[in-house]
Amino acid sequence: MDILRTPDSAFENLTDYPFTPHYHEIAAADGTPLRMHYLDEGPKDGEIVLCLHGQPSWSYLYRRMIPPLVAAGHRVIAPDLIGFGKSDKPAAMSDYSYAGHVDWLSQWLLGLDLKDLTLMCQDWGGLIGLRVVAQFPERFQRLVIANTGLPDSERVSEEMSAMLGNVFPSIPVVDMASVAQKWKEKDPTAFLYWVKFASEHPDFSVRDVFAGLNKSDDPGVLDGYAAPFPDGSYMAGARAFPTLVPLMPHHKADREANDAAWAVLEQFEKPVLTAFSDSDPVTRGGEKLFQARIPGAKGVAHVTIEGGGHFLQDDKGEELAAAIITFMKDYTA
């Protein structure tokens, strides 16, 4: 396995990212060592908020949430998933799998022996993080679930998967603006266009993704999100993620693994808050499933982050942090 590491110089003078880097070494399935970066801010004896990002973001996504969470007395730990941020980046798309990401995050969690956690997860942070919760439920005290999902065999039947597999080859490769328009129009094939764009478009751009899904236009912020990817060779992990969402026939094992995770989550009685945004074209409405299926979500005053896009931590970070602080006060460990 060939590994790339973004030069430290790429991260100099980032907007609103004054945090100290920390690293922990894990291993790929073939034994290749992988260096995983994480932030660790706030009092060491504070309750831990574990913040997991998705694609194509990194811990930079939490820069607006870390200061208020720390000011409230919490310790905030935010890793960069392998392939993202300051973490190592396997160079081939084939180096990445859903199960591999779950294993990498699990190794990191156990290596640091993190316990009594409040999980904040969004996008792939949810697909991966909720699988890790299901493996180690005793390590988590609360869950905050935002703009994510956990596709299983109930939501994606074999018949639906076969249909998607048949349709996918005919989907053309279009630019990010066209993908965003498909989502805006609630086109049922929008996600397939997203997969094609991310994995096959010759000009895949992190800036375009944030501009398309969050209407981001601050050059300094867009530079921050693009910093981990000096050129296209560093983007294999970001390009691979959409292809790993377990929708196609060859993803059956991943759907079954999510079935097993749901079986645990359906017994999870510790407090669960959903905090989806009202303007996310990708996951809007997905909170209802978590509220219905996880016992710990019953009776909780769930929140809707108004005006938030898909990356609500970016454009509504202060509001989301305030909701987490209130939730943790209301449900003390």
pLDDT at 216: 74
What SS3 class is residue 251? helix
Look at the alpha carbons of 55, 61, 62, 65 in this order and tell me if their dihedral is positive or negative: negative
The Cβ-side half-sphere exposure at 131, using a 13 Å CA radius, reads 23
Catalytic hit among 95, 152, 208, 280? 280
pLDDT at 202: 92
> Does residue 254 have a pLDDT over 90?
yes
Environment class of 198 (CB within 10 Å of its CB; exposed 0-12, middle 13-18, buried 19+) = buried
Look at the alpha carbons of 215, 76, 130, 142 in this order and tell me if their dihedral is positive or negative: negative
pLDDT at 213: 82
pTM value is 0.96
pLDDT at 175: 93
Tens-digit pLDDT profile for residues 126-163: 999 999 999 999 999 999 999 999 999 999 999 999 99
Tens-digit pLDDT profile for residues 189-235: 999 999 999 999 999 999 989 888 877 778 999 999 999 999 999 99
The C-alpha atoms of residue 187 and residue 183 are separated, in whole angstroms, by 6
Query: What is the amino acid identity at position 193?
Result: Y
Supply the DSSP symbol for 55.
Answer: S
Q: Helix and strand tally (H, E) in the chain?
A: 13, 10
pLDDT at 26: 98
Active site residue 123: yes
Mean pLDDT of the chain: 96
Tens-digit pLDDT profile for residues 165-184: 999 999 999 999 999 999 88
Written as six digits, the tokens of 89 are 């980046």
The C-alpha atoms of residue 284 and residue 278 are separated, in whole angstroms, by 6
Query: What is the amino acid identity at position 120?
Result: M
pLDDT at 217: 79
Written as six digits, the tokens of 112 are 């640091």
Active site residue 280: yes
pLDDT band at 17 (very low <50, low <70, confident <90, very high): very high
Active site residue 310: yes
Tens-digit pLDDT profile for residues 69-90: 999 999 999 999 999 999 999 9
The Cβ-side half-sphere exposure at 247, using a 13 Å CA radius, reads 16
pLDDT at 171: 96
Catalytic hit among 251, 310, 314, 315? 310
Tens-digit pLDDT profile for residues 269-316: 999 999 999 989 899 899 999 999 999 999 999 999 999 999 999 999
> Can you list the pairs that 204-210 forms with residues at least 24 positions away whose Cβ atoms lie under 8 Å?
204/232, 204/235, 204/238, 204/239, 205/176, 206/56, 206/235, 206/238, 208/175, 208/176, 208/177, 209/56, 209/176, 210/311, 210/314
Tens-digit pLDDT profile for residues 113-124: 999 999 999 999
Tens-digit pLDDT profile for residues 26-65: 999 999 999 999 999 999 999 999 999 999 999 999 999 9
What are the DSSP E strand ranges found in 80-232? 89-90, 117-122, 140-146
Phi, psi of 247, deg, nearest 5 = -110, -30
What residue ranges define each of the domains in the chain, with the CATH number in brackets?
3-330 (3.40.50.1820)
Exposure b/e, 68-107, CB count within 10 A at least 16 = b? bbbebebbbbbbbbbbbbbbbbbbebebbebeebbbbbbb
Inter-CA distances, 147 with 107, 185, 208, 280, 295, Å:
25, 18, 19, 7, 19
Catalytic hit among 88, 123, 152, 314? 123
What SS3 class is residue 175? coil
The C-alpha atoms of residue 237 and residue 143 are separated, in whole angstroms, by 26
Whether the CB-CB separation of 47 and 116 falls below 8 Å is answered with: yes
